Structure 1
Amino acid sequence: MRVGVVFPQTEIGGDVGAVRAYGQRVEELGFGHVMAYDHVIGADPEVHQGWRGPYDVDTSFHEPMVLFGYLAALTSLEMVTGIIILPQRQTVLVAKQAAEVDLLTGGRFRLGVGLGWNRVEYEALGQDFSTRGRRIEEQVMLMRRLWTERSFSFEGEFDRVTGAGLAPLPVQRPIPVWFGAQSPPAYRRAGRLADGWFPQMAPGPELAEAKAVVDQAATLAGRDPVALGMDGRLQWRGDPDGLADLASRWREYGATHISINTMNAGLSTVDDHLAALEHAAAALGLGDV
């Protein structure tokens, strides 16, 4: 089971030095990947009365693909989007950006995708919120062709490509596509289409039920459920022993990866986040601690 970290998007802010220090120290501590999730634009609660989203116009988010290009020059970590809100982005452009990150990291990249929840963001990016479920399936199919074929034509419901292709192609052909999933339709979609998935719950009965749906969908699609990866999220709560126990539980449920999240733990600086990760690394028996 591979162990990585969740980049503390909302708490590092615009300090480039903190980004550099975080990436380099995470690698030194023995973590294998860094995961970042995606919001392009934030809603202003003064305009959107009654706004109840977890993020707004003042919440900091680094753009994952650009962030990964920067970190690829500083570390040999695997980069993971967990997740990119794919249907609000242009399919071919995402495929191009993903191919570039894959090249810069030497094939150490997983593209995690999901539907998102923010209608304001979809509107600002010129995409239809109501068709996002159908669109993501077409997008994944199209991206896989873009990553593996020199030139082709494609006519879908949402995208058209006429006699074109990407160059250079990525190292991984195709790049692994992982799905965020927190509903039965999303579990079934992950089973049918994904190379892996990100459960949004802790190990227990709910995870067992979700995994059963994913596995059944994979089987019905003629795929081997055992081949699907699963990346579990572990929230840092200041208890290294508890974190180690939770990691063991994820392993029992078949997780291939786990990611330690230090956001929303009362940590105010990058040094605080890294200190927490030092404790986590020691508890999990990782490298330089």
Structure 2
Amino acid sequence: MKFWQNLSWMETDQQIECARFAEELGFEGVMHGDHFCFPDVIRSRYPMSPDGVPPMPTDWDYPDMWVTMAAQAAVTTKLRFASAIYTMATRHPIVTAKATGTLALLSGNRAVIGVAPGWMKEEFDAAGVPFEKRGARLDEAIEVTRKLWRGGAVEHHGEFYDFDPVRLEPMPGYEVPIFIGGSGDVAWKRAARLGDGWVGGGDAPEEAPALVATLKRLREEAGRGHLPFEIILPFTRPVTVDELKRLHEQGVDGTVAYPFMMTIGPRSTIDEKKRVMEAFAREFIKPFA
């Protein structure tokens, strides 16, 4: 079982030390949330809460995740870095490929690009990108980004992106892992068709076996059941070590420690965060070592 620490919404000036300490404790990686901007007025329904109201206010920290990951990569050697979740459809894939390809090279291929279509129409409006067909736009953006990562001259002529041959140097020469997020049939089918893994948005442990089985079936139907695939599930309630061991046997590859915002509040010292991470490592990481 792989354990990730969610570093979303925390104080930006503590990000680097938290990543260094996560590696020391044996975490597999750290995850970062993404909004390239946060409108002051949000009317869009947030899909992960019962009342549709987003849990985060507009003034919580969202540093650029690729810059943050690169800084964290410089002080670590094994720790992985994942976006959870990058709203890829709000950016042009050339921009995405440039940033993430550079990160892959600088980190020694420790980056994971977690993507989903996005839920906040206001963010798309600010980017000048239509909110409609965002799922299809994401699918094409994934295709284009992967072509660019391979290097050399790349051209693309599709429904949403159209450009003559361009070069982004340097590129890693391989496809950076892409994990799919979201929920429901459409998202699961996208993961089966296009993903190297799945990052859940928060599931009950009791729901995990059915989700694993669904993803396995869909991947086999897509002809991709033989390819490597990671399933990382944050859970909506605390779990025990025994529960995690059973879920690991059933196909869950990893889980995520809650953001500090949800455990010790909106502002805390680096020492307070370290104590929370140490307690998690004692309870969960050590039994799996």
Q: TM-score range by the shorter chain?
A: 0.7 to 0.9
In the aligned structure 1, how far is the partner of 2:243 from the partner of 2:200?
14
| Paired residues for 1:1-80 under 5 Å | 1-7=1-7, 9-10=8-9, 12-14=10-12, 16=13, 18-45=14-41, 52-76=53-77, 77-80=79-82
> What's the secondary structure of 2:35's corresponding residue?
coil
Q: Deviation per CA, 1:3-62: give whole Å up to 9, x if none.
A: 22111x22x234x1x2222122111111121111211222324x8699933233222212
> What's the secondary structure of 2:256's corresponding residue?
strand
> What's the secondary structure of 1:93's corresponding residue?
helix
Does residue 215 in structure 1 map to residue 212 in structure 2?
no
Q: Deviation per CA, 1:66-110: give whole Å up to 9, x if none.
A: 111111111121111111011111111111111011011111111
Does residue 106 in structure 1 map to residue 122 in structure 2?
no
- 2:284 paired residue number: 284
- 1:127 paired residue number: 129
Q: Which has the higher strand share?
A: 1
What residue identity is the alignment partner of 2:196? D
The count of aligned residue pairs is 276
In the aligned structure 1, how far is the partner of 2:258 from the partner of 2:208?
18
Structure 1 residue 258, shift from structure 2 partner: 2.2
- 2:258 paired residue number: 261
What residue identity is the alignment partner of 2:89? P
Structure 1 residue 244, shift from structure 2 partner: 2.4
Structure 1 residue 159, shift from structure 2 partner: 0.8
Whether contact under 8 Å (2:197, 2:229) holds in the other structure is: yes
| Paired residues for 1:62-211 under 5 Å | 62-76=63-77, 77-170=79-172, 173-200=174-201, 201-204=203-206, 206-211=207-212
What residue identity is the alignment partner of 2:254? H
Structure 1 residue 226, shift from structure 2 partner: 6.6
Q: Percent identity?
A: 26
Whether contact under 8 Å (2:117, 2:134) holds in the other structure is: yes
In the aligned structure 1, how far is the partner of 2:216 from the partner of 2:23?
33
In the aligned structure 2, how far is the partner of 1:48 from the partner of 1:184?
25
Distance 1:48 1:251, change over 3 A: closer
Distance 1:255 1:232, change over 3 A: same
Aligned-residue Cα RMSD (Å) equals 2.4
Distance 1:249 1:129, change over 3 A: farther
In the aligned structure 2, how far is the partner of 1:107 from the partner of 1:150?
19
In the aligned structure 2, how far is the partner of 1:164 from the partner of 1:84?
24
Does residue 251 in structure 1 map to residue 251 in structure 2?
no
- 1:229 paired residue number: 230
In the aligned structure 2, how far is the partner of 1:179 from the partner of 1:165?
26
> What's the secondary structure of 1:83's corresponding residue?
coil
Structure 1 residue 208, shift from structure 2 partner: 3.1
Whether contact under 8 Å (2:44, 2:121) holds in the other structure is: no
Which segment is superposed worse, 256-265 or 90-99? Answer: 256-265
Which segment is superposed worse, 267-276 or 131-140? Answer: 267-276
In the aligned structure 2, how far is the partner of 1:95 from the partner of 1:41?
20
Distance 1:249 1:41, change over 3 A: farther
In the aligned structure 2, how far is the partner of 1:44 from the partner of 1:148?
39
Distance 1:6 1:243, change over 3 A: farther
Whether contact under 8 Å (2:92, 2:141) holds in the other structure is: no
Q: Given the two structures, how large is their TM-score scaled by the length of structure 1?
A: 0.87
In the aligned structure 2, how far is the partner of 1:143 from the partner of 1:49?
28
In the aligned structure 1, how far is the partner of 2:61 from the partner of 2:137?
27
Whether contact under 8 Å (1:86, 1:114) holds in the other structure is: yes
What residue identity is the alignment partner of 1:233? P
- 2:48 paired residue number: none
